Amino acid sequence: MPERLSHTVSRQEPPDSAALRATPAPVLAVNRLGISIAGRQVLHDVTFSLPRRASLAIIGPNGSGKTLLLNALLGLLPASGSFQWSAGTRLGYVPQKVAADVRLPLRTGELLHAKARIQRLPEADVKTTVEWAGLEPLLEQKVGTLSSGQLQKVLIAFAMAGSPDVLLVDEPTSSLDELAEEHIFELLNRARHERGMTVILVSHDLTLVRDTATHVLCVGGGTASFGTAAEMLVPEVLERVYRQPVEFHEHRMERQA
């Protein structure tokens, strides 16, 4: 039997104990995470802690390991080091690409209700999500005939059915025009502000990231650096990550804190 350790707790708390109790636990804590593919180390020593209801953008050049990191956090890819979601956290996931055959007879409404049946969700949950995302006009439309922007909205609603705490989204606007991009980012922004969700997304659009993200994880050269959007979206950091000057292009969206 191991020796039982004991200690005495003073009744007088340290001056900052109240502040520590008031600080909420992070929704995600990552410690020295590493990812290797086919014997090649893609990422190493990724460490950060993400507060609840944050909007984290994972950015970096092509091939830097952004999607691999997202997959590791979903438990879809083995990784060294450790990461810990807070107890009871429910995850929703929107993949980068979903190929929908135009001949597929499945309608949007049927897709959403199929998830409700599989996960035993109340019908009211699907109805609320449909209304919130504005999908009523698309319910009878075949999934394979949706535009790229419409399909992305449906996939986000599909992931949000069941009220997850965290929504992980991989390149949600990679094939969309500027207006559709803004609509998708607006929807993700609303998910955080109106439904209290934490949003983690991989994105290549630094301007929309600047307008919506609270925190940024810059991935490049096998490592990652983490901070608030104000700390990370500055020329010296971005040039170090992308190894070239980076410019922002103006969008119509207004940042919500």
User: Nearest Cα to 126, choosing from 154, 161, 93, 151?
Assistant: 161
Residue type, 227: G
Determine what percent of the chain is predicted with pLDDT higher than 90. Answer: 59
CA distance 227 to 214: 9
pLDDT single digits (tens) 93-116: 999 877 666 677 899 999 999 999
DSSP-based three-state secondary structure for 158: helix
Query: What pLDDT shows up at residue 97?
Result: 74
pTM attached to this predicted model:
0.84
User: Nearest Cα to 169, choosing from 209, 204, 208, 200?
Assistant: 200
CA distance 39 to 59: 24
Query: What pLDDT shows up at residue 166?
Result: 97
Determine what percent of the chain is predicted with pLDDT higher than 70. Answer: 85
Give the chain's mean pLDDT. Answer: 85
57, 216 in Cβ contact below 8 A?
A: yes
- Angle, helices 148-160/178-195, rounded to nearest 10 degrees: 10
Query: What pLDDT shows up at residue 11?
Result: 35
Q: What's the Cα-to-Cα distance from 52 to each of 29, 119, 198, 214, rounded to whole Å?
A: 11, 25, 6, 11
Sheet holding 223-228, edge to edge: 91-94, 166-170, 198-202, 55-59, 215-220, 223-228
Angle at 120 between CA 202 and CA 97, to 5 degrees: 25
256: number of CA atoms within 13 Å, CB side? 14
203, 215 in Cβ contact below 8 A?
A: no
pLDDT single digits (tens) 113-160: 999 999 899 988 889 999 999 999 999 999 989 988 899 999 999 999
CA 178 vs. chain centroid, Å, equals 20
CA distance 201 to 56: 6
Query: What pLDDT shows up at residue 15?
Result: 44
User: Nearest Cα to 59, choosing from 200, 217, 231?
Assistant: 217
Query: What pLDDT shows up at residue 23?
Result: 61
Average of per-residue pLDDT across 193-201: 95
Query: What pLDDT shows up at residue 175?
Result: 73
Average of per-residue pLDDT across 177-189: 87
Has residue 1 got a pLDDT over 60?
A: no
